[in-house]
Amino acid sequence: MATSIFIVDDHYMVIEGIRSLLQNEKGIEWTGHAMNAASCLAFLKKQQPDVILMDINLPDKNGIDLCKEVKEKYPSVFIIGLSTFNQQSFIRKMMENGASGYVLKNATQEELKEAIDAVIKGKVFLSEDVSQTLRKEETPNIVLTRREKEVLELIADGMTNIEIAQKLFISVTTVDTHRKNLLAKLEARNTASLVRIATQLHLI
Amino acid sequence: MATSIFIVDDHYMVIEGIRSLLQNEKGIEWTGHAMNAASCLAFLKKQQPDVILMDINLPDKNGIDLCKEVKEKYPSVFIIGLSTFNQQSFIRKMMENGASGYVLKNATQEELKEAIDAVIKGKVFLSEDVSQTLRKEETPNIVLTRREKEVLELIADGMTNIEIAQKLFISVTTVDTHRKNLLAKLEARNTASLVRIATQLHLI
DNA sequence: GAAAATATCCTGTTTTTACAGGATGGACAA
DNA sequence: TTGTCCATCCTGTAAAAACAGGATATTTTC
């Protein structure tokens, strides 16, 4: 029985590329595509493919959240993350949210086929580059609290501690404490590197 | 006579997608592809296509610089910029460096064909979204000097004025002046927003 | 060759951050 | 129930950045 495939990606060229790569593969059946999260969910209500290839960057919702939602509603569907970025934090979050694999957009036809074959058997598939990144970048998964994220956002917006304190109805010293903890958690030396690192980790 | 096309993009899926979109088009001849700037330049030494579709993000060199280099060496080749980002600064720089058009990766088959037809006739082609962005975002093209960029980088790296001064063999007050000018140019309130804005404008 | 842009330097003040080293109460889990 | 985590608050000091308001020499550009 053929494996049915569905694609979610907002780039027409990528959809077309994947379709072209897979169209001559035996045992793979193309069931359609969506260019945003909403139409993906709409499709799934009617029909569930075996595998979804899911881009991380979507116009209406990020792939990480969509992945979680899809897996909650349709646990039997296997999801393969798809993006241009070989970024540890993204990949980890995708896998945490139930994805079975992750490939980069520069993947070859063979790699893509291999990924689909693997996940359909219940295995986990990561591109060579991806698993290497996961091994190499031993970033111990930085977790910020709700409040810390809030403060971080406002810092990046250029607000001073005093302004942040007023905005959040807390003391300036509390803001300072959060700031201190942010610097420690992200191993930043000062505000500049804090914002830089936070940006690189896609925390803001 | 058929229009010959060459693609530079580091994503295999995108190359395949474009090829798939164009393969049945009459009057378009696919001459090949490169996945980095170096092999693009190597190809051009042997053969010059009519049109190059060129991604902005390449592993070895950015498309903006590559565009300039190609246009200097082979002025008769038309270049169409290609990227996922609908970003004013990128588009403007591409056009300044001699590109004849700019399309996004979510372009349709018709749009792509239209773009090729237009540039081959010497016209300028911009996707609807792209030209809208150019009109809307009236960001008066922020230009930083060599030194300012240098200082900006070091600030984002978390260095203090004193450290930057030592590194660049200049006075602390000079660094402070550059910093002042950076804040003014990027309309930032402080270091945090400076780094944020600089990141958003892809200056660092 | 003149004007504009760039890079350099200065004094001084105020504001903001960074850092040290705490404490307290509440929520939640083992 | 006894931790652990989180959010809150505190005092005090040192360092750094922001801001004002300059000046001067060297390139670059027209």
> For residue B61, which of B70, B72, B52 has the smallest C-alpha distance?
B70
Regions of chain A where pLDDT drops below 70: 137-140
How many Å lie between the alpha carbon of A159 and the closest alpha carbon of chain B? 8
Q: pLDDT (tens digit, 9 = 90+) per residue, A80-105?
A: 999 888 877 788 888 888 899 999 98
How is chain A split into domains, by residue range? 3-136, 146-200
Report which DSSP code applies to B62: -
The residues in A 6-65 lying below 8 A from B, measured between CB atoms, are 10-21, 35, 57
Distance CA A67, CA A96 (A): 10
Instruction: Sort out which chain A residues have CB atoms less than 8 A from B195's CB and list them.
Output: 156, 191-192, 195-196, 199
CATH 3.90.1300.10 fits A3-136, yes or no: no
Per-residue pLDDT of chain B (204 residues; tens, 9 = 90+): 789 999 999 998 999 999 998 888 888 999 999 999 999 999 999 999 999 999 988 888 888 888 988 988 899 999 999 988 887 778 888 888 889 999 998 888 899 999 999 999 999 999 888 888 877 756 566 789 999 999 999 999 999 999 999 999 999 999 999 999 999 999 999 999 999 999 998 888
Q: pLDDT (tens digit, 9 = 90+) per residue, B36-46?
A: 999 999 999 99
User: Which tokens belong to A21?
Assistant: 């790569």
> For residue B88, which of B123, B62, B56 has the smallest C-alpha distance?
B56
Check if the beta carbon of residue B22 is closer than 8 Å to that of residue B31.
no
How many Å lie between the alpha carbon of B158 and the closest alpha carbon of chain A? 4
> For residue B147, which of B122, B131, B124, B171 has the smallest C-alpha distance?
B171
What per-residue confidence (pLDDT) applies to B38?
A: 92
Whether residue A84 and residue B11 make contact (CB cut-off 8 A), yes or no, is: yes
Report which DSSP code applies to A194: H
B190 interface with A at CB cutoff 8 Å: yes
Whether residue A158 and residue B190 make contact (CB cut-off 8 A), yes or no, is: yes
Instruction: Sort out which chain A residues have CB atoms less than 8 A from B159's CB and list them.
Output: 192
How many Å lie between the alpha carbon of B159 and the closest alpha carbon of chain A? 8
What per-residue confidence (pLDDT) applies to A128?
A: 85
What per-residue confidence (pLDDT) applies to B85?
A: 81
Number of H helices, E strands in chain A: 10, 6
CATH fold of B146-200: Arc Repressor Mutant, subunit A (1.10.10)
User: Which tokens belong to B77?
Assistant: 């080749």
What per-residue confidence (pLDDT) applies to A138?
A: 61
User: Which tokens belong to A158?
Assistant: 């250029």
- Cβ-nearest to B10 among A16, A18, A106: A106
Report which DSSP code applies to A7: E
What per-residue confidence (pLDDT) applies to A166?
A: 95
What per-residue confidence (pLDDT) applies to B45?
A: 94
Distance CA B111, CA B105 (A): 11
What per-residue confidence (pLDDT) applies to A140?
A: 62
